Amino acid sequence: MSAAGLLAPAPAQAGAPPAPEYYPEEDEELESAEDDERSCRGRESDEDTEDASETDLAKHDEEDYVEMKEQMYQDKLASLKRQLQQLQEGTLQEYQKRMKKLDQQYKERIRNAELFLQLETEQVERNYIKEKKAAVKEFEDKKVELKENLIAELEEKKKMIENEKLTMELTGDEQIMEDLRTLNKLKSPKRPASPSSPEHLPATPAESPAQRFEARIEDGKLYYDKRWYHKSQAIYLESKDNQKLSCVISSVGANEIWVRKTSDSTKMRIYLGQLQRGLFVIRRRSAA
């Protein structure tokens, strides 16, 4: 068979479909497309591999981070537990430092309190000694004053009693004499009167009755012989036995007056009745 015969197409059989035509360029394009597809699949495979590698790396980094955080937590927890143990044992440095500072403050406050207590105690003791001395002095002064007042009061009462006794003795004898004279007059016999008897002639009796003086006390003052006398007034006191005493009125009572002698400061009590009957006579004198 010749080459032309080989190259010539075979005659188509009746009723059979036409044979496909063969073009070499199409085969080359097809092979090129297949190569491109295989290359693309290779690149996609490589990209998938890279993505898988990056995912694995991220997961590994995250696990490392979590592990690192867990380790930090454990370390911190262990440190806190160790510090708590040291605190309970009293060996924690921060605790010892603060305790030392607190102890210094405590000692300083104790020292200041002791100094203040000492000063206050000394001050109280000084005040106590001072007040005690003042109290003792006041007690002694009051005791001396009370003693002197009692002595003066007793002396005054003694003088008053002596003066009352003297006054009673003086006035008693005068009153007795006056009563005797009155009795004698009443007992004397009456003689019949005659024209030539001197009894017919007006005459004064042998003895005149006792002279009466007006004496009263009003508003703490003495009204005597038309004059007013008051406390602390200087007077002369005269008695029937011709005694004349220089006195000062010391007080004016309801029915009597008290006078104090200027010679010895003794006191006498003079009743209104004695002044009214003239047993005592009061005369004014100059205070000088």
Model confidence over 43-76: pLDDT tens digits?
665 566 666 666 767 777 788 888 888 889 988 9
Cβ neighbours of residue 191 closer than 8 Å, sequence gap 6 or more: 197, 199
- Residue-level length of the chain: 288
Q: Give backbone dihedrals phi and psi of 123, rounded to 5 degrees, phi first.
A: -65, -40
pLDDT at 118: 94
pLDDT at 266: 86
Please, are residues 237 and 247 in contact by the beta-carbon 8 Å criterion? yes
Count CB-CB contacts under 10 A for residue 275: 21
pLDDT beneath 70: ranges in the chain = 1-54, 56, 167-173, 175-211, 287-288
pLDDT at 194: 47
Tell me the pTM: 0.31
pLDDT at 29: 57
Please, are residues 287 and 246 in contact by the beta-carbon 8 Å criterion? no
Please, are residues 224 and 236 in contact by the beta-carbon 8 Å criterion? no
pLDDT at 174: 76
Please provide the distance, in angstroms rounded to a whole number, between the alpha carbons at the two ends of the chain.
208
Give DSSP secondary structure letters for 17-81: PPPPP--HHHHHHHHHHHHHHHHHHHHHHHHHHHHHHHHHHHHHHHHHHHHHHHHHHHHHHHHHH
Please, are residues 213 and 282 in contact by the beta-carbon 8 Å criterion? no
